[in-house]
Structure 1
Amino acid sequence: MDELEVKTLPALDWHGIWPGYVSHDEEGLYFPQDLPTGIRLAVQQAECSEPVMARQKRWEAGNIHYPSLIREGDRYRLWYCCFADPEDPWVQAGHVPGKVPGLWCYAESDDGFHWERPELGRVEYAGSKDNNILFVCDQVGSSYGYMNVMRDPNGSDEERYKAIGITAKFEVDGQPASRAEVMELRAKREAAGDAGEIGANITSQVVVTAGVSADGYSWTHLPEPIMAPPFLLDTQNILTYDADSGKYVIYLRSGRERRRAVSRYEADTFRGPWDNHLMVLTAEPDDPPDWDIYAPGYCRHPHGQHLMFFSPYRRASDLVDVYLATSHDGQLWYRPERKPIIPVSERYGSLYPTPELVELDQDHWGVLTLACPHPHNRSSDHPHEYIWATWKRDRLVAWEADDWAEFALSEQLCAGQQLKLNFKTLLPGAFVEVEIVDGSLPNRTGATLVPALEGFSFADCDRMSGDELAAVVSWRGKSDLSALKGRKIHLRFRMARAQLFAVTL
């Protein structure tokens, strides 16, 4: 038989858990079969690192802001916006135009914790090009530059990297106008106390802008927007390519009736047209009534599922923390548990994750996060910082037993190697044990459980305890599953005061 692929099933939602069955005996009495009992979904809050990057250079004196990160091989690549000090003489001389003196910059790292700002020689600042500035943000009509970078596996070599931002398109009396022209006109109207005689009508629409690059350093700004959504846009929108559907996908900050939400569009090509609009994430009836959904924080799970590390803005407290949503198709989203996966702290009042879950080392994953030391609407001179929110591998969510749990997994194809568990027991005496059943659950012909395969029962299983990322399951000391290669099987679990994060088979 051809070699079968070993697969990992992470605990993210109830998919993968067999929902059970009920049969009745000859007397019509109720007989439950493998009904899951005693488990719940438990989001695992991140461990947060010390700051790995903060403002350092003269052109960053105003602060660093939204980052976008990609890991390529052993190199971490970071594109980020920073603000110069408006009082800097170089800014005062008009070299960094715009409402806010924004610059789009680049950094890289071998480990994600120690960052270098390479001297790129592209943009002059204070009489020197020895800096890591890629371009002045005003060139793309935004104070933030581009807010999301993707490496496109489907793109041409010349457009391997793609980025998106936002800008406003203006019209005066139905004719296109620049931001500067509109600002000048508004200033004249305000000075004159004008009620409409100067410029009968000023309109604006926020659109999605884009740039392309062969290497991530030299960017071509597309002259026309790639999208003009029918709602008010904001920052931190996400562009991706969905290899499953063969579509480009954009997750946008949208809204309805003054409440922020996340919308999804898709297109056959990067430049559009974009269609199939869905509002995919919004405040739900179980959420507090003051919630808005801010940054989408979309990325793919290393095992393929869709994730959103999204930031709800909690208006009553003026705080922004990070929650987790999961999906199997990028359209229908679930919340494993309604608690933050990256919580605010005394040190940080607003958190905005980059849209990428990356491997930091063999045993840890991380999401680089913009951490602001103030609530959302409070100004502060304190520096913004980039921190890592980290988890042990595959430990975003657990199937957790507070006391005692019994459940079975939906049928899986056995690759014929070993069964490995990523698990943790929580108290002395706690354990996990497994038995293997063939793929014929449930028993539809009678009121008896489908028995375990010979030699793979709970009675045979060597109980497991501790804290392990890839513990090999054994039955009376034997772990070889080669005799089951290519067979569809079910795994039955018993757990006492334990967490199960992932199953590899």
Structure 2
Amino acid sequence: MTNTFVFLNDFCLQQRHQMQRRFFPLREIPDSGYNDPRLSPGYSTLQYVPEQGRYLMWVNFNSVFCEIGKTSEQCLLALAESEDGIHYRPAQGTLSGFPQTDNVVYAGLGRSIHGATVLYDPLDPDPARRFKCAASLDEPGRIMSYSPSTISISPDGSHWSAADERYVWSRFWSDTYNALIYNPVLECYQVFCRAAGTDRRICTVTSKDLLHWSEPRLVLQPDGTDGPNKEFYAMPVFYHNGIFYGHLWIYETDDEDPVAYKMAGRNYPELTYSYDGLYWMRTYQKAVEMPDYDSDGYGVFNITLYNTILNRESDAWLTVGTMTRNGHADGMYKHKDSNHLPSAFKVGDPANGRRPIFRMKPGRNCGLESIGLSGRIHTKNLLVDRDGPVPSINVSCRYGEMRVQLCGTMNNPIPGFTFADCVPFRGDELAYVPKWKTRSMDETLGKLFNMEIELHNGCIYGISGAMMPFHGSIPQYSYGNVNPAAEHVWGTLEKAPDYDGVELR
């Protein structure tokens, strides 16, 4: 499994000199996304489907809105498609009887699903379960608090069967973006959800088989640095090269809200990350910049980012989001019962929001930038799995230079792998494999060493490869899978570790 040493923190380093951490926000692609005037702003999921040769976007929109305290809302799942992942059009619907739009593909047993997300799962051996939808079934008129949350399955993302709602991951309503992923570290399915309706903290449930689910586990809630009146609305999650990334929705609420469960407020996304999908760390950095008031108004008050995927060419992350001109639940309050000024929009008004695509080169949400004439980082010890791939560097130094040196466990430069032997690099690559005059990175397979990098006028975003952290007495599979890998490396636990036998020389 490929792992990545990212520089969201310094734990993988033993030294950092004249290298400054910098965060990079997502950039909106102009005139992108799916902006159907028939649909309200709603939860969205993006996937690329190779066997269909197209990108699909599912939009969980609200077709019937209700006032605060009512239970008459109706949420449906519509489908859009794209050839380039940037520009979307309505796809062919498979359900009829919904006058709002003709591209509805799923509505659940009770004709309403809340917080729906879709996972494309190419690893499932059953083609009938190629697509999986996590949602709460909030049938209009029922007690929402007891609405069950289920997984539904589909062979193509368009045709969904009500019979497969036997996969129940919660007995209670989860009124948020219920992000469904497959976790390759824990080897299980995982939903990031709420333990109960309007309990705005980030919880998760897990399952190996979709039938048996864990109880909800709390993974993130506001801390003392957040200040009063902040809640965590949702956290879409995606996995890339050993790291789980999250876009945590920070929900700023109205401290004079007459509704105890705080319906009035606004969201902005913060970058979070995890090595195993269970223990999460915050960066306290916005994942996207809020537009200024001189723009068209979209996103001034509210930005929500949904899921992120690797594009077909594997050279960009694509993220779908929603930007609205006013805050959460504006228009759902009766003005006479509220101290709020009237909203400029009716709730669900399509003119209030748009659904653009954001883009970023993979792994480049944070990096270490050189300062002055030369910056330098020195990693802790690592061991490369004998089956590879070898370490590569995500780096940009078009107008500078990078050199790499490999060192032994006592930080002694290894002959042939020194800075003097290194072929300097200038350019921009997502996975650059360092080169030396007489030696090759292929020699590091199955070997123990550490890495020193010098950089001038550039930024390093991460180091990826089949690398096992070896900062302790025994190598571990990854920062997420902390199980000792001694038997994997040496083949036995009956003898003392042969450190000399694996050290690169």
TM-score by length of 1: 0.72
**C-alpha distance in 1, partners of 2:441/2:182?**
37
- Measured after TM superposition, the shift of residue 425 of structure 1 is 4.3
Aligned to 1:175: none
Aligned to 2:174: 233
| Cα 1:111/1:388, change in 2 over 3 Å | same
Q: Which residue of 424, 430, 434 corresponds with 2:404? A: 434
Q: Which residue of 234, 237, 261 corresponds with 1:295? A: 234
Aligned to 1:392: 361
| Cα 1:245/1:141, change in 2 over 3 Å | same
Aligned to 2:56: 77
- Measured after TM superposition, the shift of residue 500 of structure 1 is 0.7
Unmatched tracts of structure 1, length 5 or more: 20-34, 87-97, 169-177, 183-201, 444-449
The AA in structure 2 aligned to 1:331 is L
The AA in structure 2 aligned to 1:43 is F
Aligned to 2:150: 209
Aligned to 2:288: 342
CA contact (8 A) 2:96 2:102 kept: yes
| Cα 1:219/1:145, change in 2 over 3 Å | farther
Please list the CA deviations of residues 42-78 of structure 1 after superposition, one character each: whole Å capped at 9, or x if unmatched.
Answer: 332111112424443xxx5252421122212242122
Please list the CA deviations of residues 145-173 of structure 1 after superposition, one character each: whole Å capped at 9, or x if unmatched.
Answer: 561112343363333322122245xxxxx
**C-alpha distance in 2, partners of 1:270/1:418?**
35
Aligned to 1:193: none
| Cα 1:15/1:36, change in 2 over 3 Å | closer
**C-alpha distance in 1, partners of 2:319/2:171?**
29
The AA in structure 2 aligned to 1:413 is V
**2:97 corresponds to 1:156:** no
Please list the CA deviations of residues 292-344 of structure 1 after superposition, one character each: whole Å capped at 9, or x if unmatched.
Answer: 1112101211x132221221112369432212211111111112x32111232
Aligned to 1:491: 451
Equivalent position SS for 2:317: strand
CA contact (8 A) 1:433 1:458 kept: yes
- Measured after TM superposition, the shift of residue 288 of structure 1 is 3.5
The AA in structure 2 aligned to 1:110 is E
The AA in structure 2 aligned to 1:67 is S
CA contact (8 A) 2:33 2:356 kept: yes
The AA in structure 2 aligned to 1:423 is V
Question: Percent of pairs identical after alignment?
Answer: 17
The AA in structure 2 aligned to 1:267 is S
The AA in structure 2 aligned to 1:70 is Q
CA contact (8 A) 2:132 2:154 kept: yes
Aligned to 2:29: 49
**C-alpha distance in 2, partners of 1:452/1:414?**
21
Aligned to 1:104: 77
The AA in structure 2 aligned to 1:283 is P
| Cα 1:139/1:405, change in 2 over 3 Å | same
Q: Which residue of 412, 422, 447 corresponds with 1:461? A: 422
Please list the CA deviations of residues 151-197 of structure 1 after superposition, one character each: whole Å capped at 9, or x if unmatched.
Answer: 343363333322122245xxxxxxxxx854x7xxxxxxxxxxxxxxx
**2:413 corresponds to 1:452:** yes
Aligned to 1:411: 382
**2:319 corresponds to 1:359:** no
CA contact (8 A) 1:54 1:64 kept: no
| Cα 1:148/1:84, change in 2 over 3 Å | closer
RMSD: 3.6
Q: Which residue of 60, 64, 89 corresponds with 1:116? A: 89
Please list the CA deviations of residues 452-476 of structure 1 after superposition, one character each: whole Å capped at 9, or x if unmatched.
Answer: 111322233344455443445344x
Aligned to 2:161: 220
| Cα 1:402/1:295, change in 2 over 3 Å | farther
CA contact (8 A) 2:73 2:140 kept: no
Q: Which residue of 290, 298, 309 corresponds with 2:247? A: 309
**C-alpha distance in 2, partners of 1:235/1:311?**
11
CA contact (8 A) 1:66 1:80 kept: yes
- Measured after TM superposition, the shift of residue 359 of structure 1 is 1.9
The AA in structure 1 aligned to 2:28 is C
**C-alpha distance in 1, partners of 2:393/2:428?**
10
CA contact (8 A) 1:10 1:394 kept: no
**C-alpha distance in 2, partners of 1:312/1:461?**
45
The AA in structure 2 aligned to 1:408 is T
Q: Which residue of 330, 333, 340 corresponds with 1:378? A: 330
| Cα 1:110/1:36, change in 2 over 3 Å | same
Q: Which residue of 480, 486, 500 corresponds with 2:440? A: 480
Equivalent position SS for 2:44: strand
CA contact (8 A) 1:414 1:489 kept: no
Aligned to 1:63: 40
